[in-house]
Amino acid sequence: MYSDEDILEGCKRKERFFQELLYKRFSNKMYGICLRYAHDQAVAHDIFQEGFIKVYQNLHTFKGDSALGSWMYRIFMTTSINYIQRTLKNKFEVSINESVQPIDDSISEEEAEHWMNHLTQEEALIMVQELPEKYRLIINMYAVDQMSHTEIARVLNITESSSRSQLSRARKMLNDKLKLKMDKKIGGQ
**Segments making up each domain of the chain, as ranges:** 4-87, 97-188
Instruction: Note whether 4-87 and 97-188 share their fold.
Output: no
Alpha helices of the chain — where are they, by DSSP H?
A: 4-12, 16-37, 41-58, 68-87, 96-100, 109-117, 121-129, 133-139, 149-156, 160-188
pLDDT of residue 100: 34
- Domain at 97-188: CATH architecture: Orthogonal Bundle (1.10)
pLDDT of residue 126: 85
pLDDT of residue 124: 79
Which residue positions in the chain have pLDDT lower than 50?
90-107
Contact 170, 162 (CB under 8 A): no
> What fold, for 4-87?
Rna Polymerase Sigma Factor; Chain: A (1.10.1740)
How many Å is the Cα radius of gyration of the chain? Answer: 19
Average pLDDT, the chain: 83
